[in-house]
């Protein structure tokens, strides 16, 4: 079977998100918000227990995990702060937790704009 192009993998991943038909290892869909981008468009990725589960995913799902991992790694390389933020449950609001390395099990992450000047 021929390898899919990045555009084809992206299209397949978007269709999978619309259909909700994921591999059994997927816990749900996670979101990365990159502040400072036009409209702060969220990037979706498949949430998995760990990167060890990559072998059980479809190619477009692997692509989406790797793309999310690359976004986090690039942000860290640019000295941008990355936080894991999950919606609060009940009365206890959750505090954002700094992210040092990509964790594919986290439901929501935000990359904040780097402050320049003062």
Bridge-based pairing of strands 97-98 and 82-84 is antiparallel
Whether 25 is in a domain gets the answer: yes
Residue 108 binned pLDDT confidence (cut-offs 50, 70, 90):
very high
Q: Which two tokens stand for residue 80?
A: 């941008």
Helix residue ranges, H only, the chain: 6-19, 59-77
Residue 116 binned pLDDT confidence (cut-offs 50, 70, 90):
low
Whether 14 is in a domain gets the answer: yes
The pLDDT value given to residue 62: 97
**Average pLDDT estimate for 83-109:** 80
Whether 54 is in a domain gets the answer: yes
Measure Cα distances from 87 to 46, 80, 92 in Å: 18, 22, 10
Give the count of domains, the chain.
Answer: 1
Closest CA to 53 of 42, 66, 41: 66
pTM beyond cutoff 0.75: yes
Whether 104 is in a domain gets the answer: yes
For tokens 């909700």, the residue is 20
The pLDDT value given to residue 117: 58
The pLDDT value given to residue 75: 92
**Rounded Cα gap, residues 10 and 80, in angstroms:** 25
Whether 118 is in a domain gets the answer: no
Whether 117 is in a domain gets the answer: no
The pLDDT value given to residue 68: 96
- Domain of 27 in residue numbering reads as 6-87+96-111
Strands (E), the chain: 26-34, 42-48, 82-84, 97-98, 108-111
Q: What is the pLDDT of residues 20-65, one digit of tens each?
A: 999 999 999 999 998 875 566 789 999 999 999 999 999 999 999 9
- For the cut 80, the answer to whether the pLDDT of residue 115 exceeds it is no
Whether 116 is in a domain gets the answer: no
For tokens 């860290």, the residue is 76
């Amino acid at each position: 079977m021929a390898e899919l192009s990045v555009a084809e993998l992206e299209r397949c991943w978007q269709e999978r998100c619309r259909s909700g038909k994921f591999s059994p290892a997927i816990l749900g869909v996670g979101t990365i918000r990159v502040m400072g981008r036009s409209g702060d468009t969220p990037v979706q990725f498949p949430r998995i227990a760990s990167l060890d589960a990559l072998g059980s995913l479809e190619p477009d799902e692997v692509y989406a995990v790797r793309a999310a991992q690359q976004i986090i790694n690039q942000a860290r390389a640019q000295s941008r702060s990355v936080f894991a933020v999950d919606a609060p449950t009940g009365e206890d609001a959750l505090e954002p937790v700094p992210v040092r390395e990509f964790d594919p099990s986290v439901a929501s992450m935000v990359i904040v704009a780097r402050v320049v000047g003062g």
